[in-house]
Amino acid sequence: MSAPQPHEPHFTFRLPRTALRNAAIAFGVGLLLFLIVWWAGRDDGFYTAQPTLPGKAAPLEALPEPLSTGDGASGMEEPAPRAASDERPQLVEEKPMPTPVPEAAAPTPPEPTAPAAPGVTLAPGDVPVPIPGQTPAPEYPPAAMRSGDQGTVLVRVEVGADGVPTSVEVAQRSGSRDLDRAAVNAVRQWRFQPAQRDGQAVAGAVTVPIDFKMR
């Protein structure tokens, strides 16, 4: 068995609490004094810009003049200066425009006239007159007859110089489309004595009534 080894001694150094507190107070006081001295001795004008005297501008260095090589910057020749006479505006004389000549108003064409056809009698005035025996009566529409429709249709007729109707239309309706249609179809077959003016047949218009009555 080995002989027991002696224990090595351990030493622990401990400062008293009063010493630590005094050291902390001394450090704080020193730091406060340093700040007071630094604040009192700082330079307030360190960042202040120096004012310039009024009326005097700082001298500027002149830039060097560009080199004159005789050629343009791109190596192309510069165009020659134009003469002063070329820049002045020149007055170019032009021939005056011809004065427009007003066109004469076209004359109003007279109403077409035609000599009376052989065997055609002219109306006594400027209103066409139906020729007796050449005015067939309209047929009574069966549908209007079944429904008992009655009435009078006013038909406006435009008659040419030859006495034949050129346009037929309803001027006043009867209330039944069947009766209106039958009246127009009948008057288209009529013949008239054409209107006259100075002994010549002219076109005219007349309105004729067509009555539809059930017996």
Q: Give the chain's domains with CATH numbers.
A: 135-212 (3.30.2420.10)
pLDDT of residue 171: 95
Residue ranges of the chain with pLDDT lower than 50? 1, 11, 13, 45-49, 73, 91, 100, 103
* pLDDT for the residue numbered 80: 60
- Give the pLDDT of residue 13: 47
End-to-end CA gap in the chain: 168
Report pLDDT for 46. 46
The phi, psi pair for 30, rounded to 5°, reads -65, -40
Bridge pairing between strands 129-130 and 113-114 = unpaired
What pLDDT is stored for residue 29 in this prediction?
A: 85
pLDDT at 30: 85
Beta strands in 11-150 (DSSP E): 113-114, 129-130
What pLDDT is attached to residue 70?
Answer: 53
CA distance 137 to 130: 12
